[in-house]
Amino acid sequence: MKLEQAARQLEALGKPTRLEVYRTLVRAGPNGLPVGRIQERLGIPASTLSHHLHRLILTGLVTQERQATTLICRANFPAMNELLGFLADQCCADAGCGAAADEAAA
Amino acid sequence: MKLEQAARQLEALGKPTRLEVYRTLVRAGPNGLPVGRIQERLGIPASTLSHHLHRLILTGLVTQERQATTLICRANFPAMNELLGFLADQCCADAGCGAAADEAAA
DNA sequence: GGGCTATTTCGAGTATTATCGAATGAATGG
DNA sequence: CCATTCATTCGATAATACTCGAAATAGCCC
């Protein structure tokens, strides 16, 4: 993964509002959640939520699929995985720290 | 870890410039690197670099220690670990995805 | 097509952030 | 104490981003 792409994704998760949206989608699992449901849960104005979702989609962290009039949003788990991998690589490339090892052991 | 704290750290890593600084420190390992050395490597103006380092320090991702006239900067590995843990928890709390498992197996 | 629901796009106001040169502060060595 | 080196703070500018109401679009059902 390129550094710039990673930075974009990290930035996308770097605002509490968006991180909460993303967390909600992650917790919803592979079935995803309609936009309206997210809005109900988090109490965000529709236009604001749409804006944040768009940003998350642009970075590839979230996908959308149309079902009739509602749009289902899903967390893109492989993308998250890649991002975690990038961060872990940074950490353990030359450092020899126990970071990833701890995670794996836990 | 609180969501807001995680968001602050993610935001800190969310700009290419800062991510590069952080990566440089991570790769430097526990010995860290003087501010001037980072500047040489990345070619960033001193004031800009100082600004970014300050942000990284505020979020707890980087620490500084004075050695005579030079300031040694170090990546805070436990903080990074906590952040990775937070993201992994988000991912696997209810979703049952294979994310962390894949990382561990790799 | 008319009405209805779900969601996005538009537009504007506000706030935060990045960048960098110049000036300032901190610490050592003579 | 003065000169020197290392790094931060100041100040100003430009760019980017957040927020949200109003208007527009997409798709279904009758």
What's the pLDDT tens digit per position in A30-62? Answer: 999 999 999 999 999 999 999 999 999 999 999
Interatomic CA distance for residues B55 and B12, integer angstroms: 7
Higher pLDDT among residues A92 and A18, named by residue: A18
Share of chain A above pLDDT 70, in %: 84
Cα separation, B96 vs A30, whole angstroms: 9
Q: Is the pLDDT of residue A91 over 90?
A: no
- Rounded average pLDDT over A68-75: 94
Antiparallel, parallel or unpaired: β B70-75 and B62-67? antiparallel
Mean pLDDT of A73-99: 77
- Single-letter amino acid code for the residue at B38: I
Q: Which positions in strand C are less than 7 Å from the protein's CB atoms?
A: 5-11, 17-23, 26-29
Distance CA B40, CA B88 (A): 35
CATH of the domain at A76: 1.10.10.10
What pLDDT was estimated at residue B88? 84
Question: Are the beta carbons of A84 and B80 separated by less than 8 Å?
Answer: no
The whole-chain average pLDDT of chain B stands at 87
pLDDT at B93: 52
In chain B, residues with a C-beta closer than 8 Å to the C-beta of A10 are: 10-11, 13-14, 19
Q: How many domains, chain B?
A: 1
The domain of B52 spans 3-105
Residue A15 burial by CB count (10 A; 0-12/13-18/19+): exposed, middle or buried? middle
pLDDT value of residue A104 = 40
Q: What is the pTM of this model?
A: 0.86
Strand partners, A72: A34, A65
